[in-house]
């Protein structure tokens, strides 16, 4: 029998949502301070409204719905799903009031894209956007990449943390407690922040010849979008703006770091480093990266777009790395990307669909699932070829020796198939609007896998339904479906339960 949620269920959800909103309100103080220091007075009001809305919702959740109840699995998933719906709505307020969006839905689209670390954008005239608003867009990617819930968990410990942690599409607990795991993830991020901003800032200042404040600004924005595999950029020409192989090199390091699981970061920091390369996930991502890069480079070489091997490898490598890590940076225009065609285009789309590692800031199906799927298929084939009573080994290495159980196989297959369905959904809607198959599929995969590379379909003149579908894809893709289905189930039970 379907049990209808009672008042206590709503109270506990509101209570935890309230805590999270207060954390986001606190994060909103950063762009507000930035705007005040930069004397950008117009955005100041919009940041105040946003902070006020988060604060009042946060306080209301805690004050009006005090709850002694424990957060169960279902509550946690609903909290996560609601968080990722409501935060973009309120976070879009400064974007909307900036005047850089034609319709409110477009501002929401950018907030969803930012928070889910996708990087598709409907923002008009980014080259004249206030630096504080640029900071807010990029901070949204940082919050989304790290996980808003994770941010909250780092600040307040308590019961239910584990549910919230897993609800945000993280499937490994690195340290014994969730709070210490959350703090470790933040420590990794802060170290990369210091390294990334310093390195990029120095390149900007000493090599590119920017003023030092602008060099630091570009370094910070590129760090946020690179390490969190978001892909927003403070300039309209993305990383191509910098015309620098060194800048691209440092950015590539950040993208790789962002696409690595935090468990792998832990192993690299504290564990035996050799074990890292024994992991199924590491081997899988290295293989798929190599495969898609060869595909793309062969495709580009065949088209003759690049006259030199150096140009072909530099741009091919950067684009495919950006696609595979789910970042979405580019050094070529979307017009040119759309003209690539053939193997080059296919390699890029495949890399986007596969995605980075699990428990990282990247999107897509994820390498561990790809590795386990391949292992399952190989085992099936071996089982058929070997004598009837032969036992096929199911062990694999992933932070230790593990076994491929039927339950795990089912879970992996289900999520992988859901991703394929999500890719096809957006492509189908795009086709219905007359967008060519290749472009419709590319853009749909880009949205679902939270990549952000575009061939020009994402545009302020795009149909509203397609815009809504892309937003749904970004949301469901980021949360890896479980929290989304839990929310739908909760609402269904509320409507029809007894």
Q: Least Å distance between CB 206 and another protein?
A: 9
Q: Least Å distance between CB 124 and another protein?
A: 3
Instruction: Say how far apart CA 279 and CA 347 lie, in whole Å.
Output: 24
Exposed (0-12), middle (13-18) or buried (19+): which is 164, by Cβ within 10 Å? buried
Interface pick for another protein out of 6, 37, 56, 432 (rule CB under 8 A):
56
Q: Is 298 in the site for another protein (CB under 8 A)?
A: no
Q: Least Å distance between CB 411 and another protein?
A: 40
Contact 219, 201 (CB under 8 A): yes
Interface pick for another protein out of 3, 7, 127, 406 (rule CB under 8 A):
127
Nearest Cα neighbor of 235 from 314, 333, 97, 99 is: 333
Q: Least Å distance between CB 273 and another protein?
A: 32
Q: Least Å distance between CB 230 and another protein?
A: 17
Q: Is 253 in the site for another protein (CB under 8 A)?
A: no
Instruction: Say how far apart CA 140 and CA 454 lie, in whole Å.
Output: 20
Each residue 401-440 as x (binds another protein by CB under 8 A) or -, in order, gives ----------------------------------------
Contact 450, 45 (CB under 8 A): no
Interface pick for another protein out of 30, 48, 294, 468 (rule CB under 8 A):
48
Q: Helix axis angle, 148-155 relative to 73-91, nearest 10°?
A: 110
Interface pick for another protein out of 2, 102, 177, 286 (rule CB under 8 A):
102
Q: Is 315 in the site for another protein (CB under 8 A)?
A: yes
Q: Is 58 in the site for another protein (CB under 8 A)?
A: yes
Interface pick for another protein out of 237, 287, 394, 438 (rule CB under 8 A):
237
Interface pick for another protein out of 77, 92, 108, 123 (rule CB under 8 A):
123
Instruction: Say how far apart CA 480 and CA 174 lie, in whole Å.
Output: 20
Q: Is 30 in the site for another protein (CB under 8 A)?
A: no
C-alpha distances in Å from residue 375, one per residue of 208, 281, 387, 416, 485: 47, 11, 19, 14, 27
Comparison of 59 and 89: residue with beta carbon closer to another protein: 59
Q: Is 394 in the site for another protein (CB under 8 A)?
A: no
Q: Supply angle C-alpha 218, 220, 223, rounded to 5.
A: 105
Instruction: Say how far apart CA 376 and CA 19 lie, in whole Å.
Output: 42
The stretch near another protein (CB under 8 A) out of 34-42, 169-177, 376-384, 444-452 is 34-42
Interface pick for another protein out of 176, 209, 406, 434 (rule CB under 8 A):
209
Q: Is 104 in the site for another protein (CB under 8 A)?
A: no
Instruction: Say how far apart CA 167 and CA 160 lie, in whole Å.
Output: 11
Q: Is 308 in the site for another protein (CB under 8 A)?
A: yes
H or E element that contains 401? strand 401-403
Comparison of 319 and 325: residue with beta carbon closer to another protein: 319
Interface pick for another protein out of 30, 59, 246, 298 (rule CB under 8 A):
59
Judged by CB under 8 A, how many residues of this single chain contact another protein? 67
Kindly tell me the sign of the dihedral angle through the C-alpha atoms of 148, 270, 200, 316: negative
Q: Least Å distance between CB 51 and another protein?
A: 6
Interface pick for another protein out of 10, 186, 241, 494 (rule CB under 8 A):
241
Contact 135, 34 (CB under 8 A): yes
Q: Is 64 in the site for another protein (CB under 8 A)?
A: yes
Q: Token pair of 416, please?
A: 């992988």
CB atoms within 10 A of CB 438: 17
Report the half-sphere exposure of 209 (CA within 13 A, side-chain side): 1
Q: Which of the residues 439 through 468 are near another protein (CB under 8 A)?
A: 459-461
Exposed (0-12), middle (13-18) or buried (19+): which is 159, by Cβ within 10 Å? exposed
Site for another protein, rule CB under 8 A: 40-42, 44-53, 55-56, 58-60, 63-64, 97, 99-102, 121, 123-131, 207-211, 214, 218, 235-237, 240-241, 243, 245, 305-308, 310-312, 314-315, 331-333, 335-336, 339, 459-461
């Amino acid at each position: 029998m379907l049990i209808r949620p009672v008042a206590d269920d709503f109270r506990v959800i509101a209570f935890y949502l309230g805590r999270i909103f207060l954390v986001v309100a606190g994060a909103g103080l950063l762009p507000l301070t930035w705007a005040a220091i930069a004397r950008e007075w117009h955005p100041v009001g919009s940041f105040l409204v946003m902070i006020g809305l988060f604060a009042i919702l946060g306080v209301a959740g805690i004050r009006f719905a005090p709850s002694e109840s424990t957060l169960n699995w279902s509550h946690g998933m609903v909290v996560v799903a609601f968080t990722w719906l409501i935060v973009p709505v309120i976070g879009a307020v400064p974007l909307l009031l900036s005047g850089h969006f034609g319709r409110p839905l477009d501002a929401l689209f950018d907030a969803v894209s930012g928070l889910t670390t996708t990087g598709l954008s409907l923002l008009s005239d980014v080259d004249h956007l206030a630096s504080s608003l640029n900071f807010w867009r990029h901070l949204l990617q940082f919050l989304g990449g790290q996980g808003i819930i994770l941010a909250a968990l780092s600040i307040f410990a308590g019961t239910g943390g584990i549910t919230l942690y897993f609800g945000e599409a993280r499937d490994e607990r690195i340290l014994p407690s969730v709070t210490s795991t959350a703090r470790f993830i933040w420590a990794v991020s802060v170290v990369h922040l210091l390294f990334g901003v310093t390195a990029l800032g120095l390149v900007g200042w000493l090599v590119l010849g920017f003023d030092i404040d602008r060099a630091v600004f570009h370094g910070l924005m590129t760090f946020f979008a690179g390490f969190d595999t978001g892909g927003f950029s403070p300039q309209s020409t993305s990383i191509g703006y910098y015309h620098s192989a060194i800048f691209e090199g440092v950015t590539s390091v950040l993208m790789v770091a962002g696409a690595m699981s935090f468990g792998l970061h832990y192993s690299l920091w504290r564990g035996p480093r050799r074990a890292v390369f024994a992991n199924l996930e590491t081997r899988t991502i290295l293989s798929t990266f190599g495969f898609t890069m060869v595909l793309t480079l062969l495709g580009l070489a065949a088209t003759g777009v690049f006259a030199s091997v150096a140009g072909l490898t530099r741009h091919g490598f950067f684009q495919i790395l950006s696609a595979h890590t789910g970042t979405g940076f580019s050094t070529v225009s979307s017009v040119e990307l759309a003209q690539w065609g053939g193997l080059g285009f296919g390699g890029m789309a495949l890399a986007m669909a596969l995605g980075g590692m699990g428990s990282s800031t990247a999107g897509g199906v994820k390498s561990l699932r790809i590795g386990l799927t391949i292992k399952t298929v190989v085992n099936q084939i071996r089982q058929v070829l070997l004598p009837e009573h032969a036992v096929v080994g199911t062990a694999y290495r992933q932070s230790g020796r593990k076994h491929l159980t039927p339950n795990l196989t089912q879970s992996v297959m289900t999520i992988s198939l859901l991703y394929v369905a999500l890719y096809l959904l957006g492509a189908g809607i795009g086709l219905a609007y007359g967008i060519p198959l290749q472009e419709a599929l590319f853009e749909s995969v880009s949205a679902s896998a939270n990549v952000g590379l575009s061939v020009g379909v994402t545009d302020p003149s795009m149909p509203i339904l397609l815009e809504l579908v892309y937003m749904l894809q970004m949301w469901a893709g980021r949360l890896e479906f479980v929290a989304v289905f839990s929310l739908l189930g909760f609402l269904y039970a509320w409507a029809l339960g007894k």
